[in-house]
């Protein structure tokens, strides 16, 4: 009596599970025991995609081209003896689509700073498959460890403006699992905030007092000075 095939082993032999547009992948399906001939059927979300017959114990190889988002998802294969009823199913493989990241945007709540001030920088790519890894730079020198974000949110770093050398050009970079996906942000510069002189309030106060004296003197002329002048004539 023929031996029914065992549950087939389903594995990826070419390509990756994180796929990009127009990528080719090759899948292998093999029952290690069972009487040939064996019919192998490839399924995607329980819909038949392709079928191959094997007259010996060699794997069935299925080659796919990921041409659209509808081609990703869960795949599995089925092995059955000579088109008999029943059959055994394999483990599943799940393909996910990898999207390149957009150019990250580097920003800060403030563009002006002064010495002794704490400031923040945030780096964010609006598009691209997660996770996304960010890193911050000043004049091409790294100023932070890499920050990997599992959610669609900005990476943030904190800076202390200690000297004039901290008012340089800052950038950040972002990348994900998409091949050669690294992109750099716009450049960002902090400008030195003008510090108010401590003498300014005093000067303003003296100016107001002088102005009030002039106004008071002008008002006093018709009431006191002119009558006194006429009385002395």
Structural contact between residues 182 and 175, judged by C-beta atoms closer than 8 angstroms: yes
- Selecting from 3.40.50.2300, 2.60.40.10, 2.60.120.10, 3.30.300.130, what CATH number does the domain 105-192 have? 2.60.40.10
What predicted TM-score, i.e. pTM, was given to this entire model? 0.60
**Where in the chain are the domains?**
9-97, 105-192
User: Binning pLDDT at 50, 70 and 90, where does residue 193 land?
Assistant: confident
Q: Please, which contacts does 24-27 make with residues 24 or more away whose CB atoms are closer than 8 Å?
A: 24/63, 24/64, 24/65, 24/66, 25/63, 25/64, 25/66, 25/95, 26/61, 26/62, 26/63, 26/64, 27/61, 27/62, 27/63, 27/64, 27/75, 27/77, 27/93
Tokens of 33: 């025991």
Which percentage of the chain shows pLDDT scores above 70? Answer: 89
Nearest Cα to Cα of residue 163 among 119, 117, 115, 195: 115
Domain 9-97 identical in fold to domain 105-192: yes
Q: Positive or negative CA dihedral for 161, 167, 168, 174?
A: positive
Structure token digits, residue 47? 């819909």
| pLDDT tens digits for range 138-155 | 998 999 999 999 999 999
Asked whether residue 196 carries a pLDDT value surpassing 80, the answer given is no
Q: How far apart are CA 153 and CA 155, in angstroms?
A: 7
123-135: string of b/e by CB count within 10 Å (b at 16+)? bbbeebbeebbbb
Split at pLDDT 50, 70, 90, the class of 105 is: very high
Contact 6, 31 (CB under 8 A): yes
For the chain, where are the E strands, in sequence order?
9-14, 18-19, 23-30, 38-44, 47-54, 60-66, 73-81, 88-89, 93-97, 105-107, 112-113, 117-124, 132-138, 141-142, 147-149, 155-161, 169-175, 183-184, 188-189, 191-192
What CATH number belongs to 9-97? 2.60.40.10
Inter-residue contact 39 to 71 (CB < 8 Å):
no
Tokens of 14: 């070419």
Kindly tell me the sign of the dihedral angle through the C-alpha atoms of 150, 152, 158, 159.
positive
pLDDT of residue 117: 92
pLDDT at 97 over 90: no
Question: Residue 179: pLDDT band by 50, 70, 90 thresholds?
Answer: confident
């Amino acid at each position: 009596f023929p031996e029914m095939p065992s549950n087939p082993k389903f594995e990826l032999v070419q390509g990756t599970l994180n796929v990009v547009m127009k990528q080719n992948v090759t899948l292998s399906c093999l029952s290690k025991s069972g009487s040939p001939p064996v019919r192998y059927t490839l399924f995607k979300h329980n819909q038949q995609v392709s079928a191959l017959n094997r007259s010996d114990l060699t794997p069935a190889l299925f080659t796919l081209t990921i041409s659209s988002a509808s081609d990703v998802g869960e795949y599995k294969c089925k092995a059955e003896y000579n088109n008999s009823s029943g059959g055994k199913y394999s483990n599943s493989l799940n393909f996910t689509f990898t999207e390149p990241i957009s150019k990250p945007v580097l920003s800060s709540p403030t563009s002006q700073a002064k010495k002794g001030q704490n400031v923040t920088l945030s780096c964010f790519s609006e598009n691209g498959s997660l996770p996304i890894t960010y890193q911050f730079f000043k004049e091409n020198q790294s100023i932070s460890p890499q920050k990997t974000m599992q959610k669609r949110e900005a990476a943030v770093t904190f800076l202390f403006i200690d000297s004039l050398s901290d008012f340089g050009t800052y950038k950040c970079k972002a990348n994900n699992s998409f091949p050669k996906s690294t992109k750099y942000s716009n450049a960002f510069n902090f400008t030195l905030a003008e510090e108010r002189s401590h003498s300014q309030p005093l000067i303003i106060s003296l100016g107001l007092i002088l102005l009030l004296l002039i106004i008071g003197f002008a008002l006093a002329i018709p009431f006191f000075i002119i009558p006194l002048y006429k009385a002395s004539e």
